[in-house]
Structure 1
């Protein structure tokens, strides 16, 4: 299913909550040239309602993360700057309306990481074809443009629920997400969604 350049990072030991995705989409860090795992610069968002602690951004990340069973990167393809991460939580059933509100209210915003300013565009992605046994699912794409022609990265975020389990997955790549990249995302998400659904 995946070519040999993918490194599957959880083959021996599953990710844990200490490697949870921070409340800032990976594409934004990539476009700014920062490492989310060791970020030391401050982050500010305009408008601030879209920040991870803001009115809409905060609710989005609360929905995405739940109370945490395990999380972290499970696949990395360094050559093309591609990565796939998963966050699995056992929590009370929640509505995914916070995702809809974030996409509507934060379609365009800017993020400042130190001296680097990144322009962010959020677009909803059709999710019905990727439900695969989940009770509900939302997908949206974050396209982040930094300074310079090569500083554009995108992350497709999928958030799904089934019974008391919440699954969030993020696929990040250089440039935009289209064609072949969407097929890769579909393959990864099928595995994650099917496993989550079959556990109930």
Structure 2
């Protein structure tokens, strides 16, 4: 009988602690996330991303930007190449979520805009002639997504998210050298799926 009483008392003490620990992971309202877009796509340049979420009862407002700044210069036998890229893609959205102890499943959508500029120079080492190609891509769209978050503790978590880009794009391609200038402009709508497209580490406070 004494063993049963002791067991009951211990159970009563541990149950509230377990419930409190289970809900503690999702108690903090603010989140800063830092991560990679296209994290698992080895063929593309990975864009860094930074964002903020403000958690509500069953959802969160979120905003941030992805960006890529890449400059390189390479000397070859008889010529040199110089490449510069700048990409900025701010977004604003809302998500709904459901918590399961250390895990959180969420889904939502963002509206976004994207500015992507690349310049590539080919320089002949013997004549100093240059061929310059400039590429500018502007995009505006909606990005619905589905994600999974795992809480390492109440202050740190990791997230992976898959999403679809539904966007309108304007592309300008200009090539210029000493003899000619070529300009090409295209516009249109496109969609693309990014499976496991975002991997981030999150700080909660």
- TM-score exceeds 0.5: no
Structure in which a larger fraction of residues adopt helix: 1
TM-score by length of 2: 0.28
TM-score by length of 1: 0.29
Structure having greater relative contact order (Cα 8 Å, sep ≥ 6): 1
Please identify the structure whose Cα radius of gyration is greater: 2
